[in-house]
Structure 1
Amino acid sequence: MTTAVTAEPTKVPPKPTRRRMPGWARVLLWVAVAFAAVSITSYQTGVPQLTSSGTVQSAVRLGIPILLAALGGLWAERAGVINIGLEGMMILGTWGGAWAGYQWGPVAGLVAAAVFGALGGLVHAIATVTFGVNHIVSGVAINLLGAGIAKYLSTLVFEPISRNPRESPPVPKFDTYSAQPLGTWLQQLEDLQRVGISDAAGILGGLVTEVSPLTMLAFLLVPVSYLVLWRSPFGLRLRSCGENPVAAESLGVNVYRYKYLAVIISGALAGIGGAALILNPGQAGYLEGQTNNRGYIGLAAMIFGNWRPGGLLGGAALFGYSDGLQLRSGETSVHALFYGATLLLVVVAAVQVWRRSWFAAGLALVAAAVMYAVYWYTDELPTELTAYTPHLVTLVVLGVASQRLRPPAANGLQYRRGAD
């Protein structure tokens, strides 16, 4: 009698998993890479304006309206409502801020801008949430309506005062503040023109010099939005309306109420973004067309940031920097950015090689070669092209970021209570 011997199955050792770097660490690493690229570019091309404190101040001033519009888009779309109407709400905010600011001062202008923008958000909420209008159609209508209302009110109110229906009289501004003696010390370091040290001093100096309360408020709203939307029961319910409103309703969430609140807050934030064009230094008052599509660029910054507050802050900084650079330094500085873009693309290619993503690495190298060829064979860019630098950066960034985006699952979908 023989006994069958069964062999024990061989245990396959688990495949080692690669430890991923935390998200915040990856962001800091890429910020350091971008700083190094800009610093080297400034030295190699002889264009110190790339990291000067004046350029950074302009970038902050021009990036704040984009940041606030992006935050407005974040609030609406996290609740499932696409807000293409940010541009129109910003226009309403610029007019309201100029009107109240001229009458009663900058604080009143800020409040009025938020109210006017919130009214635009309310109209958008009524159309999309209550009546089920397509979100894109309603947003485009808000943009047209905002521009038309502002033009009518400007003709009615400002023309008798300024003799021009397209602009308001000068509006009082918020005072600005500088961190002293830190600002003076950073300016001295910047004047030394040492690679890296002077670049860092110029960037930091621009961030702590001549800062208005409205700028401080805008930066404060970024962590506040994160804490409210991701670290509070209110934010959890609001985001559930953008992910699965039917499930949220089954758990007792009043989806209509949260969508209304989100879109109204979205409009108020966009209105404050419009006020930043009026009440911060650098602009006399309301001027027809002064938003210059910043509502759309804010929407692009939100998408680039993957519907997260920290990401959209980076997007707004990028677009504000490109806008401030072309306004302050013109064709030469924008032309030098092609050299910096070449360095960044080479780093991207190296990262893709490390990840064994050969196609992406090859694509990055080809793009780097194109960027360097443009830099090498041209001396400066046409004025007609540099004027649209922020818009071109928007297109390029969205094209690059489109592969990793994850919008809210129910964003833009019509919702009806009791529907399956």
Structure 2
Amino acid sequence: MVLLLQYTLIFASVLILVALGGCFAEHSGVINLGLEGIMIMGALGGALAMRYISPNVPAIVMILGVLAISALVGMIYSCLLAVACINFKADQTLVGTALNLLGTAGATVIVKAINTAANPDDVSSIVQYAGAKKAFTVNLGSFEFSWFMLVTALLLAASYVLLYKTRFGLRLMACGEHPQAADSVGINVYKMRWAGVLISGFLGGIGGIVFITAGVSEWRFEYGVAGFGFLSLAVMIFGQWKPQRIALAALLFGLFRALSNVYMGFGFLTAMNIPSPVYNMMPYIISLIVLAFTSKRSRAPKAEGIPYDKGQR
């Protein structure tokens, strides 16, 4: 049970971070379907930071450095979405899909190039960071606490305050509900949408590095992030674009995802002789079922996915 709780919290942390990223983008009026690609690029930045930063540095330096680089790379990559969809008014669904495809391919090529330069005989797309990973965890008996859990809790609280208790958050949500009305009172819709997308990249990049450090000491980039970007979108919709509900939804989905990691420890599950891939599929099956029954009651921002035209009223 302790191991199940541990994996549930770490997977829920990933889902919370990435779903919050999608939440900020959609509250500004931009649908970010490229969260999967942003996670991959953020994970790439963080993994390379862990590889090249000396493991002998203080743990706090390692943690802050990796988080900063992951967030920065995620933000830079999200600029592609912002430029295409905000400035050039491109189709947001197509651009997001392209970012997902580009993220996996780009990360694989970059890592292979780095490995080949260091060792001409090594053409793998794996980044190893076993030694540096120790800085992110603290053993509490049978429970392994990850500092990323604390970071997630702090960012969740900050997201709630930013959205509902600040002028910036209220303006951001106004741009996702009725951008023309927001513009009429002096709010720069383009800047607010850029801010929403950049925050989305910030959180998505951190979510990526949390995912790849959840239970592995090396990561093969061509495998991507196992659909967690899309699963985070389901969490966001189920959570009705509200941080507190997103957190509860993430815990539910994280529990089902954690079962695939620890099912061997539960006799009644192994006795059913259900193949392990079935447990890996469970969170995605649950997401389909949940969305099928709740999508009609979803209240998405009214202007999401609609390019803003300043001359339209």
Partner of 2:109: 152
Partner of 1:192: none
State whether residues 66 and 273 of structure 1, in contact with CA within 8 Å, keep that contact through their aligned partners in structure 2: yes
Partner of 2:209: 275
Q: Distance in 1 between matches of 2:3 and 2:189?
A: 46
Q: Which residue identity lines up with residue 262 of structure 2 in the other structure?
A: R
1:3-402 alignment, distance < 5 Å: 52-104=1-53, 105-161=62-118, 163-171=122-130, 172-173=132-133, 174-177=135-138, 209-278=143-212, 280=213, 282-288=215-221, 289-330=223-264, 379-402=272-295
Distance verdict in 2 for CA 1:128–1:115, change over 3 Å: same
Q: Secondary structure at the match of 1:211?
A: strand
Q: Distance in 2 between matches of 1:333 and 1:298?
A: 30
State whether residues 104 and 224 of structure 2, in contact with CA within 8 Å, keep that contact through their aligned partners in structure 1: no
Can you list the C-alpha shifts for 1:329-371, whole angstroms capped at 9, x where unaligned? 15967959xxxxxxxxxxxxxxxxxxxxxxxxxxxxxxxxxxx
Q: Distance in 1 between matches of 2:93 and 2:112?
A: 29
State whether residues 332 and 381 of structure 1, in contact with CA within 8 Å, keep that contact through their aligned partners in structure 2: no
Q: Distance in 2 between matches of 1:82 and 1:118?
A: 16
Partner of 1:342: none
Can you list the C-alpha shifts for 1:289-325, whole angstroms capped at 9, x where unaligned? 2410100001110000001001111121111111111
State whether residues 159 and 243 of structure 2, in contact with CA within 8 Å, keep that contact through their aligned partners in structure 1: yes
Higher Rg: 1
Q: Secondary structure at the match of 2:219?
A: coil
| CA positional deviation for 1:380 | 4.0
User: 1 or 2, which has the higher strand percentage?
Assistant: 2
The unaligned stretches of length 5 or more in structure 2 are: 54-61
Partner of 2:306: 413
Q: Which residue identity lines up with residue 22 of structure 2 in the other structure?
A: G
Distance verdict in 2 for CA 1:136–1:281, change over 3 Å: closer
State whether residues 50 and 129 of structure 2, in contact with CA within 8 Å, keep that contact through their aligned partners in structure 1: no
Distance verdict in 2 for CA 1:389–1:233, change over 3 Å: same
Q: Distance in 2 between matches of 1:334 and 1:237?
A: 51
Q: Secondary structure at the match of 1:132?
A: coil
Q: Distance in 2 between matches of 1:332 and 1:160?
A: 45
Q: Secondary structure at the match of 1:414?
A: coil
State whether residues 94 and 286 of structure 1, in contact with CA within 8 Å, keep that contact through their aligned partners in structure 2: no
Distance verdict in 2 for CA 1:316–1:161, change over 3 Å: farther
| CA positional deviation for 1:285 | 3.1
State whether residues 44 and 107 of structure 2, in contact with CA within 8 Å, keep that contact through their aligned partners in structure 1: yes
Q: Distance in 2 between matches of 1:334 and 1:123?
A: 48
Distance verdict in 2 for CA 1:126–1:165, change over 3 Å: same
Q: Distance in 1 between matches of 2:138 and 2:128?
A: 25
Q: Distance in 2 between matches of 1:88 and 1:66?
A: 15
Distance verdict in 2 for CA 1:259–1:383, change over 3 Å: same
Percent of aligned positions that are identical:
33
The unaligned stretches of length 5 or more in structure 1 are: 1-51, 188-208, 337-377
Distance verdict in 2 for CA 1:133–1:56, change over 3 Å: same
Q: Distance in 1 between matches of 2:218 and 2:199?
A: 24
Normalised by the length of structure 2, the TM-score is: 0.89
Count of aligned positions: 300
* Larger RCO, structure (CA 8 Å, separation 6 or more): 2
Can you list the C-alpha shifts for 1:202-253, whole angstroms capped at 9, x where unaligned? xxxxxxx432222201111112111111111110100000000000000000
State whether residues 263 and 269 of structure 2, in contact with CA within 8 Å, keep that contact through their aligned partners in structure 1: no
| CA positional deviation for 1:151 | 1.2
Q: How large is the Cα RMSD of the aligned pairs?
A: 2.2
State whether residues 326 and 333 of structure 1, in contact with CA within 8 Å, keep that contact through their aligned partners in structure 2: no
